[in-house]
A and B are shown apart, each in its own frame.
Chain A
């Protein structure tokens, strides 16, 4: 059996007294489209930052493609592509200059970097404004450029932090097409997103982090089965107000997510002054 593409053991990050991520044990198999979900402040971005070298772990270990990130950071970084939260763009370069620059930072020779830059700009429909600076791009264009930069060196693993945030349907379609193409070619994608519909459609496997702890991990079917089994047990005990899904009706990812992180609210208890 292949080594996991990404594996963490006891991954923990503290910010002073706050434990943002606690004892996370992740395992992502090669070729998986992996969705990493959690409510705001759950520790998603902190985890992805640690996995990509943007943040040091307080304790625990990270293996990427069988290599220890702490011991072989350069070798690991050579094989991964990242679209971080801030997109890591250089505003005062043109799109072509930026992609060329990133390509060469990842060790591509001039000709290869130039060729891939042209292809990526074409694919992302960014080739029409060759002289426009990145700072003048729209948000969607910047997201597409950031994704193009993350894949220019042909990474084996792609980390994406909220790639669909603030992106319109057309740009989103382009991004999804590129990601599916990468999966088809055997790459592994690790993605965080709040847009659960997209995650449900794209991802084969999921993990859910809540209050810094990993609370669920597996394929969508495994998570669904787990939640339904819990609900059935609760119903049998007649001690919970939750109702299982109607017979024959599958739980959506949103429902699974809400049940796992306990996101239900009692409207009558809150904000009565709102009128």
Chain B
């Protein structure tokens, strides 16, 4: 890592990259979609700004309170919170994170220090770094107000902690990038990631459930584990500040030194990864050469779905092949049942503890179904996204977009139907079988919501498509415009459902909700058919933009 000084060459390269990124941004504004994306990102920036400044104030107040009340050791909780957010958020929201494609950079005559710095600087321009730095700044101010003499020391310790977090996040991404480079490892990593996310959901309910009974084994483990927390960077940073407050400067220095050692170790690991990239490691996806001729298999015929035209059945089959090969999508589909299980495992003694389903188990089926519907929006609102260059086939084949959308919508409706049935069975086991009136009201409500979502989803799929990859985690995100539009539709759907349920409750009969949902579904069906009948004309009018987006490399 020697020679990390900014030579004129390096400065020129940095300036060139900054300029090209600016040009890409400006060129993106040429299209209406690009301008809408900028507006949507503006809202996102505002939300992150509020979270950053609000969080900074909150962390500052907490730090001030803890230090001024002689509880500086508890700063560790704040620092662990910052640390977990900083490291987990970029993985969960990878679409918001800037990543430089190293293969593009490496063809230029960059020195390794330049390459390292570019990866570090541009990679660090993400919301988690911004928010984390703001929160740590607030923490330092809070400590400084409570103990003005220690402000500089706290700022130094927290700055080192920030550098450690930036390096760790970059190091994790660099290694994850290595695993994402090949389809197989990418899919394994996606599966591991989703299992991790699902397990993460269970921590809260299990903690509260176990916590109520003060399980002796858990207490023992907690007593054993807690001291080791101080051996890790968030604990060390808290320790360095707390010990300094208590006047134990040698111990504070030791904790700070250890924190720096962690940062250096992470820097070394990052260096190892980037060094391999810099020297052109081979991440080819080429198939291994077969040593013996494989036995030929009989070709399996396509699906035969009676009553459905061949092309629609072919689309239906293709959609199921795609979904069944997408680890991330499959894990998304199990989430509604997992959510119900989380509610089931949560505390059930008091509504104040947050588990409303324990007190209103009749709502379990509607809530689970509503969640399933939310999961489906990912598919419905960008239904051509995963087809990528395959979209060309739809334009050159003698099949109307009406049939193509019908096939896709049928596949998505079947997925939702399976989800709703699975939720109904899960509710029967976890709570009790839903009443017949609740079941029918939910099914008709879901039917209405599905038709409305399909109607708008078909339009948005044509108007704002975005190339996605079902196989890679974090690559299923639709365009920001679509995300905002779908949020609006979901708000409208849930608003209508709430009003319907309130009316039904006022009349004292859930059956009224079923009737209202049926009427709404009828209206949505008319809209759906109207859109379907115009799909060909709209798709042909938009074909240049659709193909430009989906066929780009």
Contact = CB atoms under 8 A, between A and B. Distances in A.
B544 interface: yes
Interface stretch (B251-259, B390-398, B505-513, B522-530): B390-398
Contact of A128 (B294, B388, B392, B398): B294
Contact of B294 (A86, A103, A129, A133): A129
A96 interface: yes
A136 B397 contact: no
Interface in B533-553: 540, 543-544, 547, 551
Interface string A38-82: 000000000000001111100000000000000001110110101
Interface stretch (A104-112, A173-181, A250-258): A104-112
Q: Which of A86, A102, A117 has the most CB of B within 10 A?
A: A86
Given A74-B398, A93-B321, A117-B299, A104 B313 contact: yes
A74 B400 contact: yes
A77 B393 CA distance: 11
Interface string A84-108: 1011111111001100111111111
B293 interface: yes
A78 B398 contact: yes
Nearest to B285: A136
Given A89-B389, A132-B287, A100 B299 contact: yes
B321 A113 contact: no
Nearest to A82: B396
Interface in A113-154: 113-115, 117-118, 121-122, 127-130, 132-133, 135-138, 149
Nearest to B387: A90
Contacts of A111: 301
B390 A89 contact: yes
Interface in B288-326: 290, 293-294, 296-302, 304, 310-311, 313-315, 317-318, 321-322, 325-326
Given A74-B400, A109-B310, A110-B302, 6 more contacts: A53-B396, A100-B299, A101-B314, A108-B310, A114-B300, A128-B296
11 contacts: A52-B396, A74-B400, A77-B397, A86-B392, A90-B390, A105-B311, A106-B398, A114-B299, A127-B296, A133-B325, A136-B287
A106 B321 contact: no
Contacts of B398: 73-75, 77-78, 105-107
A104 B304 CA distance: 11
A78 B310 CA distance: 14
B470 A92 contact: yes
In the A-B complex, the 5 residue pairs with the smallest Cβ-Cβ separation, listed nearest first, are: A104-B314, A88-B392, A86-B389, A90-B390, A77-B398
B396 A88 contact: yes
Contacts of A108: 310
B318 A54 contact: no
A14 to B, nearest CB: 12
B399 interface: yes
Given A54-B396, A90-B387, A101-B318, A114 B302 contact: yes
Contacts of B301: 100, 110-111, 113-114
Contacts of A106: 397-398
Contact of A102 (B304, B397, B547): B397
Contacts of B318: 90, 93, 97, 101
B302 A104 contact: yes
Nearest to A118: B299
Contacts of B471: 92
A260 B302 CA distance: 50
B180 interface: no
A84 B299 contact: no
B310 A88 contact: no
B47 interface: no
B467 to A, nearest CB: 11
B310 A107 contact: yes
Interface string B367-395: 00000000000000000001111111101
Given A89-B390, A92-B325, A104 B300 contact: no
B435 interface: no
A157 to B, nearest CB: 12
B71 interface: no
Contacts of A101: 302, 314, 317-318
A53 B396 CA distance: 6
B183 interface: yes
Contacts of B313: 104
B184 to A, nearest CB: 9
Nearest to B404: A105
B333 to A, nearest CB: 17
B285 A56 contact: no
Contacts of A97: 318, 321
Contact of A130 (B296, B391, B551): B296
A96 B300 CA distance: 8
Given A104-B310, A107-B310, A114-B300, A54 B392 contact: yes
B226 interface: no
A63 B290 CA distance: 47
Most chain A CB within a 10 A radius of its CB, from B397, B470, B471: B397
Contacts of A114: 299-302
Nearest to B184: A136
Contacts of A127: 296
Interface string B411-453: 0000000000000000000000000000000000000000000
Name, among B296, B314, B325, B399, the residue most crowded by chain A CB atoms within 10 Å (CB to CB).
Answer: B314
